Structure 1
Amino acid sequence: MNAPTTATADPHPRTGDERDSRPPLSSRLPRPWAFPLLAYASTWILTLGVWAWLGDRNVAQVPSVERRKYHGWQLHFVFKDASNYLDVARFGYPDHLPLAADGSVKANNTAFFPLLPMLVKAVAVPLGGRYVLAALIVSVVLGAASAFAVWKLADHLRGRRVADRAVLLYCLFPGAFVFGYLYSEPLAALLAAFCLLALVKRQWLLAGVLAGAGTAVRPNMVALCAACAVAAAVAIHRERDWRSLWAPLLSPIGGAAYLVWGTVRYDDARFWFKTQDQGWDQHTDWGVDTVKRVLWLDPDVRAEPAQNAVHTIFFVLAVVGVVWLLQEKFPPAVTVFTLGVLLLSFTASAQGSKPRFVWTAFPLLIAAGVRLRGRVLAAVLVAFAVGFVWLAGWSPLHYGRGAP
């Protein structure tokens, strides 16, 4: 039997909605699952509005090499990291690591994990090599599927009303503006949400496969490995369910396969770490950069007040979300995944509390969905939508400030 038990699921969900006799919003639709898709559609309405407003305002900000490859709406969609993913889909990874005169590794596309570009290539081939169109299709489908997955997880954890509120928060959270780019966060959230759902339902093999796929999307999806390990430990301790070991055993397979492949191809087991550190100036600094940004301590940080204000605001939102998450007492796997994503983000140099990284820790929004209702929820959603539009419009006009 795969029914959830106290080993993995909270037997006492608390929503605060018991006195509300009205049916949930999604239950008023002919097909309840259409609700998260409608919520997701709202993000594209906002995105298309921003694209229309931007017009060619950001063209001067785009590197000339990008302007030669893309035009019109493509310059909005193929933004920063999206260009790297698209190049991997088109041309694959480099034959060798590019080196600078001092022997250090230059920035290159081996920093980007393979599953997203693999999906784009799989769609582009039957489209006759129309890679940008394929990327747009993949991005839209993955975004919609991620909204559905978060809604399903929230429904299982706290019921349909909370699920409806959580998916609205998920789709309008300012970090969700990456729905409009070929970025990997929606695919990561999709796999993570279904993996966590499989864990709380004790579907161990499925959870391991989904986690393994997730680790081939983004390095911070190693948090799924921790979630699988914790869920298995709880199941073994409480019920001697040794089948649960499938989840942690399979969970790292995707990311590990990429690292092994690169080790053989480049004859260097540290190829990815060198590319990240030497090429892209990305490394673990144990939170130093995050602290400097949040406390406005570094002169370089203070020189970018708008960007730094975003980091500070979303760090505070993350802290509030963590407090709510811990108070909810979600199944351990859900909590461990969320804290793991935040920890990996906050301890990474030049990453910190970027909105899209806080958004990837989406169980925070499920916890928020338990508490935010009525006018308070409406006000928060409006504030989120304003932040969504501002980030989607500001980032392309400040191309040199790093990936949003």
Structure 2
Amino acid sequence: MGDSPTKTSNALTQRFTPRPASPPQRRPWRFKLRKALPALTLFASVRLTGVIMATLWSLHLGKHPRTVLGLEWDGHWYWHVSQYGYGLVIRPKWGHSVFNDLAFFPLFPGLIRAVDTVLPIGPVNVALLIAWSAALVAAWGVYAVGELLHGRRVGFLLVALWALMPHAIILTMAYTEPLMTAFAAWSLYAVLTRRWLAAATLAVLAGLCRPNGLAVAAAVVTGALAHLWQLRRAGAPTAPRAWAAAATAPLGWLGYVGWVGLRTHNPVGYFHVQSLWGSRFDFGRYTAHMFKHLVVGHDTLVVYLTAAIILGSVLLFVFCVLNRMPLPLLAYCAVLIVIAVGGTHFFTSKPRFLLPAFPLLIPLARHLARSRLRTIVVLLTALAVVSLFYGTYLLTVSPRAL
């Protein structure tokens, strides 16, 4: 006989509700690491290949590979903050922009300075070491989320797809995306397993990494409030740790924004600094203008692919909603998309802003997990070729900002 409607409904509810924390086990992290090892090996192999290709092409162009990976674009700003602290303001002779280093959040340069003090290998090497280590930890967290929700096969494919994103070369640069994604992935895992204090702590650290680190706090708050609502409906006792997590999670982001406000004597000083860079929130008008420009005019391949990634991210978010992804993951991805799409300027940097939104790839990973092995190998190989060559082009040839 078939299951009753009530039983089916309960099964669906359990499937899409964050799982309770498992009982304490002896050295559980070793067991989890062993399960994730195939995915981490693939991730490291792909990204190492990307580093080798970028190195070879940089040498061909007469550039130092370490400079390309560690000091390009934002990497130079993080290096400068790590060595001299905040205070650098550049006023170019052209345009009306004012480049102020207060736009860059403090955790990454702070880590560079701290590690450089005890590991004297040079700040650029330290920055790359932190970024590469964080990328591996992030990949492990990505696997953990995918495996928790849908099993090992989906977890493995989720890491593979994330490693092969067109802009995944960022994960091997001295940028903050690897560090933020590491905190974000494990914070989301902690939310799904109801480890509220761990989730909040990681959200605070993510909020000190990047402006869009606020998305992690949104995920923790959403998960905590949803859990408290379920407890109230069930008539169960409240959960003080969930309340504490909801209150604590945004403090990293709010703390730095507040500190910039004090330093600039302006409550919205951080947003003023961003506006002088040309970055404002205009609810997507600038993004819509760029799409119109691409329809009626023409531009470079990088700009067209940027538009495709934005559209693809929005479409994947719709699939995530239809597939009833857990609310914390939806909140996390929604905030990342809103920040990326709603901001002005630096159009070609928007795929980088969306790189931490790995849960968007879960519907693709689930669909691919049902495919035959030959199909999976062919697709991942094709993605690897595109990702590695395009990433090398972005880093060494393209004049567009990353």
AA partner of residue 38 (structure 1):
T
The match for 1:271 is 269
Contact map agreement 2:47 2:169 (CA 8 A) in 1: yes
- Equivalent in 91, 98, 102 of residue 110 of structure 1: 102
Q: CA deviation at 1:338?
A: 1.0
Distance 1:170 1:298 in 2: 29
Q: CA deviation at 1:54?
A: 2.9
Distance 1:388 1:266 in 2: 41
The match for 1:184 is 176
Q: Deviations over 1:113-156 (max 9, x none)?
A: 01111111121111236101111211110011000011011111
Q: Deviations over 1:275-317 (max 9, x none)?
A: 2111x11111211222233343587xx4532122111221232
Contact map agreement 2:158 2:361 (CA 8 A) in 1: yes
Q: CA deviation at 1:352?
A: 5.3
SS for the counterpart of 1:125 is helix
1:5-404 equivalences under 5 Å are: 11-12=14-15, 31-41=34-44, 42-57=46-61, 59=63, 71-94=64-87, 106-128=98-120, 130-240=122-232, 241-243=238-240, 244-278=242-276, 280-296=277-293, 302=297, 304-351=299-346, 354-372=350-368, 373-374=371-372, 375-398=374-397, 400-402=399-401, 404=402
Distance 1:289 1:238 in 2: 40
The match for 1:26 is none
SS for the counterpart of 2:14 is coil
Q: Deviations over 1:95-124 (max 9, x none)?
A: 7x66789xx872021111011111111211
Contact map agreement 1:292 1:298 (CA 8 A) in 2: no
Q: 1:256 to 1:58 in 2, by over 3 A?
A: farther
- Cα root mean square deviation, aligned: 2.8
Return 5+ residue gaps in structure 2 as ranges: 1-8, 17-31, 233-237
Distance 2:92 2:394 in 1: 29
SS for the counterpart of 2:320 is helix
Q: TM-score, normalised by structure 2?
A: 0.83
Contact map agreement 1:174 1:385 (CA 8 A) in 2: no
Distance 1:332 1:383 in 2: 33
Return 5+ residue gaps in structure 1 as ranges: 1-5, 14-28, 60-70
How many corresponding residue pairs?
366
Q: 1:84 to 1:332 in 2, by over 3 A?
A: same
Q: CA deviation at 1:185?
A: 0.9
AA partner of residue 256 (structure 2):
Y
Distance 1:309 1:286 in 2: 21
Q: CA deviation at 1:72?
A: 4.5
Q: CA deviation at 1:383?
A: 3.6
Q: TM-score, normalised by structure 1?
A: 0.82
Q: Deviations over 1:167-206 (max 9, x none)?
A: 1111111221102211111111111111111111111111
Distance 2:376 2:352 in 1: 21
The structure with higher relative contact order (CA 8 Å, sep 6+) is 1
Contact map agreement 1:285 1:347 (CA 8 A) in 2: yes
AA partner of residue 39 (structure 1):
L
Q: Deviations over 1:219-264 (max 9, x none)?
A: 1121222222221221121103342112221111112221222233
Q: CA deviation at 1:92?
A: 1.0
Q: CA deviation at 1:399?
A: 5.6
